[in-house]
């Protein structure tokens, strides 16, 4: 839960920075808030359901990028090493689909959604330590000014 809050706060800060009134320099140079962005959405252990904080982060990102030329959205679902590999692959697929659907529902204009899953591949370090931060999806949005 703590990781989700940190991720949501980080995304909210990044998105709110994009959503604030542009600086004088940005107006003079014609800068746009539309730029490629990457963020993570965290899940509870064994779940693919979005939390309210995740929904807020996704909605905030979509709202900032609605006026942009969104060329591609990549969503990669991940899982930790808890449970079997087949179950973890299925869970990571469900997580990726949940996030992609939420981005689309929030109105993110994207001609292409690449949705993939890695399951628990890479969830254990070479020293054998579990990586619990893998309970997430990685989202990369290729956005540019129109």
User: If you write DSSP's letter for every residue of 79-101 in order, what string do you get?
Assistant: --SSS-HHHHHHHHHHHHHHHHH
3-state secondary structure at position 28: helix
* Whole-prediction pTM: 0.72
Tell me the per-residue pLDDT of 82-120, one tens digit each, with 9 for 90 and over.
888 899 999 999 999 999 999 999 988 767 788 888 877
The per-type count for the chain, helices as H runs and strands as E runs, is: 4, 4
pLDDT score for 80: 87
Host domain of residue 130 = 2-144
Classify 51 as helix, strand or coil.
Answer: coil
The domain total for the chain is 1
Structure tokens at 23: 């600086």
We report the CATH number of the domain holding residue 81 as 3.30.1330.60
Instruction: Look at 113 and 75; give whichever has higher pLDDT.
Output: 75
């Amino acid at each position: 839960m703590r990781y989700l809050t940190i991720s949501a706060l980080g995304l909210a800060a990044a998105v709110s920075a994009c959503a604030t009134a542009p600086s004088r320099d940005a107006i003079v140079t014609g800068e746009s808030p539309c730029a490629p962005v990457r963020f993570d959405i965290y899940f509870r252990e064994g779940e693919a359901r979005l939390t309210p904080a995740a929904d807020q982060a996704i909605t905030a990102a979509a709202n900032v990028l609605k006026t942009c030329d969104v060329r591609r959205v990549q969503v990669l679902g991940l899982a930790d090493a808890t449970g079997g590999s087949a179950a973890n692959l299925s869970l990571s697929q469900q997580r990726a689909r949940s996030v992609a659907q939420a981005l689309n529902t929030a109105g993110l204009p994207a001609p292409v959604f690449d949705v993939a899953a890695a399951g628990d591949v890479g969830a254990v370090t070479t020293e054998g330590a579990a990586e619990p931060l893998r309970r997430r999806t990685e989202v990369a949005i290729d956005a540019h000014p129109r």
